[in-house]
A = this chain, B = another copy of it.
Amino acid sequence: MGRPSFAFAFAALLAAVEAQTYRRLGACPSLGCVLPPDQSDFLPGQDFDLRLEVHAPVNGSEAFNEGVPDEDFLVTITKEGGEAQNLADFFSIDEPEVEKWDFQWYEDLFAEDAGTPSVVNVASKIYRRLAIYEPGNYVIELSYYGDQKTTANWVVRPLATEKKAKNVILFIGDGMTTNMITAARLLGHHSINGKYQSLLQMDQFPVLGHQMTHSLDSFMTDSANSASALYSGHKSTVNALGVYVDSSPDPFDDPKVETIVEVLKRTWKSAWGAVSTAAISDATPIALTGHSRSRYQFGPLVDQALNSFTNYTWTNQGGPDVWFGGGAEQFYPGDESYKGKDYYAAFAEAGYDITLNRTSLLELGNSSRALGIFCQSHLPVWLDRNVFTENLEAFQNDPQGGDGPALDLPGLKDMTLKAIDILHKRGGDEGFFLMSEGASIDKQMHALDYDRALGDLLELDDTVRATVAHLKELGELENTLVLVTADHGHGFDVFGGVDTAYLSAGKTDREKRRAVGTYEKSGLSQYTVAPPEGVAYNTGPNFPLNWSPRYTLAQGFSANPDRRENYKVHKSPRRVVSNTPGFGSHEYFVDADDSPDGFVINGTLPVSDSSGVHSMTDVAVFAMGPCQETFGGVYGNIDLFYKMANCLGLGQPTDKAKEAPKYPAGVPAYPPPKGVHPLSP
C-alpha cells in the first residue's frame, strides 16, 4: 500500500467537494466510509448493520494509491467518557471477512457527456445485526491508508420503555404540501366573505409541526428514502429502503436498519398494517418492511413483507396483519412476482383472508389477517372512481392479471376503516400500528394533474375524518396517536383564477394568458357553487360541487417539463403533458393531445424528463392523541420515528428480540440484481 502525501489527499478532498452534484458515494466525502455515517441517531436496542468501505479511485480527480484500496483498515468505537474498543470486541462478534469490488461514477455532466467515468476499487467489511442498548454519544473511527481517518459521531437516544399510546395511525399524504392543503380546502369547503363554513379534518388537529425532508446525501428526497427516515429514524439515499446505500453491486447486501414495525413486533407483539392507494409494493408502504437499495425490486420486496428479510438473520416482523392496496402484478404468478410464484397463494397459506374487490373487503371478518389487492398498478384516483367513472372501463387492471378493468374498487376510506377493525381485534391489549397512504397526491402531481391530486388529498382528509369518528365509536380515540403528514413536496401553488372561456377563445398563446386573473381578479371559488346546469356529482360533503366551473384556479409548478395548460379539469385519466416525437427518442416536447386549447409553457427540467419532480419544502405534521404535544415546532423527518417510538415505548434496555422469533440465517438469497446498478450507469 502506498503512502500518499497529506497535500495529495487534501487536493483530492477539495475536488470531491467541487464535483458534488454527482457523488462518488453518499455520506462518504472522504475515501473511508462508515455506514451508518456521521450524525446518525439510533433507538436504544434498534438493530442495524455496519458497513465500512475504503475507496481507491483509479482515475479522475480523486485518483489515489494507484487504485489499490487499503484492506488493513481498523475500526474502533468509543462511548463518550469511555475508552476506544475494537468494534468486534465491543459487539462480541467475529471479525467479518474483507469483501472487494469496484464501481464507476461520473464526476459531473461534462464527464458524463464525454463518457469518461471514474473507477473506484473498494475494500469493505460488514458487521451484521448489531444493537446498542445504552443511550449516549458514541464515536466510530475508521483508520486507513495509515494516516487517514473517517469519524462518525452517533447518538443513541434516551430509553423509552413506557408505552403512552396503545395505537398509532400514521397517515401519509404522499407529496402533500401546505400549498396543496390550502388549495384542496378551497375546492372542498365553502367560505363566505373569507371565512370557511367548514374545515378539513386535519385543520382541526390541535398540534402542528413541520418536518425537514432532506436525504442523507442530497437536499432532495424521494418517497423510498423519506419513508425509511419516517419509519426507521435513519436518512438514506434516493431509491433506498431500510438500508444505507453501499457501493457494492448487490441491492440486497446493503447495511440495514430496523423499522418501526420490526421493533414494535419484537418489543410488544402488536398488530400492524399498511393501506395505500398505490401498489402495495410501492415505496411508501413497502418501506415498512423492505431492505434494499432499490425500491424497484418489487417482487423480492413483497416477499420481504410476508417472510421478513431472509438473506441474513434479521428481525421477523411477522407479516402484516392487514395489507390493502394495488399492485396485483407482484401477486398473481408471472414475470413480475418473486420467482414467478403465486403470492395470493403464499399469503393464503400463511393464513390470510384474500380479498380482490370492495364488496368482499367490506364482508371480511376481523379475526384473520387480511390481504386486499384490488387492481394492477396503483388504484385509479378518487376523481375517476367518483366523478368521471366512465374512465374506469378503460383501465386494464384486473387484480387477477386479466386484461379487463377492476371496477369494484374500494377507496382509501373503505380500506382504512376495515384495517382499523382488523388491527383493533388482532392487536388486542397490545394495540396496533397502521400506515395509511394517499399515494396519488404525489403521482398526479408528477403528471401535473392537480385536480386529480387534490381530489385524492380530499379523499385522504375524508378518511382521516372517518377514522377519528370510527376510533371514537370503538372507544379507542383517547388511546390512539393519529398523525397526518407527508414525505416530501412538489413545487405547487395557486396564484389566481382563470376565465377558461376567455382562455379558450384567445387566438394566440400570449392572448390566452390574459385569461389569468390575479389578486382581486382571482375572485372566489366556484368549486363550491352547484353547477348551473344541474349536474350533481353526489360525492358528499367536503368535496367540490362542481369540478369544471368556468372560473378555475390558476395553478402552477416551480418545475415542469414542457406542457400546455388550459386550467380545465382533465376529463380523461392519466394526463400526459409531454411526449417524445417517436420511437427511440428520449427528448420530450409538448404532447399534441393535451389541453389543445391551452397555451404552451416551456419546461425548466431537462428535456429528457416527462413529468414533474419533488420539491424541497418542509411538510406539515398534524398530531392528535397521546404524545401530541411532542409534535409541535420544526424537526427532521427522522424525528417523527423517535417521537412515535417514544410514545410506543420502543426504546428498550434489553434485547426483547430474544423473546420474539428470529428468522433463521442461510435461506436462499434474493436473485441477482436486474437492471441498473445506480452507482454504475
Contact = CB atoms under 8 A, between A and B. Distances in A.
Contacts of A605: 513, 516, 518
A18 B531 CA distance: 10
A674 to B, nearest CB: 20
A494 interface: yes
Given A601-B602, A604-B513, A632 B632 contact: yes
Contacts of A191: 214
> How many copies make up the complex?
2
Q: How large is the interface on A (under 10, 10 to 19, 20 to 34, 35 or more residues)?
A: 35 or more
A261 B116 CA distance: 66
A495 B181 contact: no
Nearest to A37: B193
A21 interface: yes
A608 B193 CA distance: 29
Contacts of A557: 556, 558
A6 interface: no
Interface stretch (A72-80, A300-308, A615-623): A615-623
Contacts of A510: 587, 607
A424 B496 CA distance: 42
A301 to B, nearest CB: 20
Interface in A563-622: 565, 587, 600-609, 613-618, 620
A238 B517 CA distance: 13
B194 A636 contact: yes
B21 A604 contact: no
Contact of A559 (B17, B212, B495, B520): B495
A558 B559 contact: no
A39 interface: yes
Contact of A556 (B195, B205, B518, B558): B558
Nearest to A530: B17
Contact of A17 (B505, B529, B558): B529
A207 interface: yes
B499 A207 contact: no
A482 to B, nearest CB: 14
A520 B238 contact: yes
Q: Name the 6 nearest CB pairs between A and B, nearest first.
A: A556-B558, A491-B493, A495-B559, A493-B615, A238-B520, A493-B558
Interface of A: 14, 17-18, 20-23, 26-27, 37-40, 108-110, 177-179, 181-183, 185-186, 191-196, 199-200, 202-210, 212, 214-222, 235, 237-239, 489-497, 499, 501-502, 505, 509-510, 513-526, 529, 532, 550-551, 554-559, 565, 587, 600-609, 613-618, 620, 632-634, 636, 678
